[in-house]
Structure 1
Amino acid sequence: MGSRRKARECALQMLFAADVSGTRADELVRTYWTELGDADVEEPARDFATRLAVGTLSHLQELDERIKSRAEHWRISRMAIVDRNILRLAVYEFLHEPTPRTVAINEALEIARRFSTYEATQFINGILDAIKRDMDEQHPQEHTTTEDEEEADMNSAEGEREMGKGEG
């Protein structure tokens, strides 16, 4: 698993804890990294996870409005806690990070496959894809290579090398 995905998973865990406990962002981050977080997460990933969690928490109203606009017949409060926080995290990346929207969606779906249900993955994909289409119409995103894409390329190359070792 790449360090950026691990960072997103840590951010999701912080958001889940905040949603359940109502703890302030600064206190939550401190508690997460000292008591709950994965000690093996390297500093750049910790920084990214913290930025995602704090940023998401500070923009909740804006994020929830975007989600509500595309979650027909669903109130945010009725969604499973993990699902609504996966959505919030991805929409935060759409709006406030340089991550390509398709990468943010793919990452959200991979995390949903790990932490939620198959049905939830479809639900999350539908909402994120609709929000992405809305945003693409308003503000097309220029393509730039991001750390996520570079990490995916590295992981792909490693996998190809590993497969090649067994041949011949």
Structure 2
Amino acid sequence: MAIDRHKARILGMQALCQLDAQGDEYLPKVATFLADHIESGETLSYAHDLVELAWREREVVEKEIAQHSKGWTMARMSSVDRNVLRVALAEFDLKQAPPKVIINEAIEIAKEFGSAESGAFVNGILDKVWATIDPDAREQKG
């Protein structure tokens, strides 16, 4: 069965929201949470990789996000927006999906689970982040 990356991203974001709320105490429960919602082994593994990388590297990820979110601290962002961004940056690092797909998926998930402004907010930050990772990204996007 193919990896359902969309489902992995959503559940990864939700697990990270729980980690935000409960801290490292929730870490042992992440695997159970994901397994309760994902049947495919490959999708489960992908979701787990996203959560583990995003949480383990959150200081680096948060610095990257903060650099491109003028006037917004991580604490000021909604939990959904913050964790959609964390998942997307983790996925950039995994390099298993094209950046345009990662960005578009993050926007759609932010719209679905966040506020009316979440999609535009996430889009603005991820475009800036990706442009620093790949300076040719702006030319490719158009």
| TM-score of the aligned structures, taking structure 2 as reference length | 0.86
Task: For residues 59-78 of structure 1, give each alpha carbon's deviation from its aligned partner in whole angstroms, at most 9, with x where no partner exists.
Answer: 10110010000000111111
1:61-100 matched pairs, under 5 angstroms: 61-100=59-98
Counterpart for residue 11 of structure 2: 10
| Structure number with bigger Rg | 1
Counterpart for residue 21 of structure 2: 20
Do the aligned residues in 2 keep the contact of 1:14 with 1:28 (CA within 8 Å)? no
Shift of 1:118: 2.4
CA–CA distance in 2 between the matches of 1:84 and 1:115?
12
Alignment of 1:101 with 2:102, yes or no, is no
Structure 1 residue ranges, 4+ long, deviating more than 4 angstroms after superposition: none
Shift of 1:103: 1.1
Query: Paired residues, what number?
Result: 135
Shift of 1:30: 3.0
Shift of 1:16: 0.6
Shift of 1:12: 0.9
| TM-score of the aligned structures, taking structure 1 as reference length | 0.73
State the one-letter code of the partner of 1:106: N
Task: For residues 91-141 of structure 1, give each alpha carbon's deviation from its aligned partner in whole angstroms, at most 9, with x where no partner exists.
Answer: 11112333221111011011112111221110110000011111112x87x
Do the aligned residues in 1 keep the contact of 2:10 with 2:109 (CA within 8 Å)? yes
Alignment root-mean-square deviation, CA: 1.9
Counterpart for residue 108 of structure 2: 110
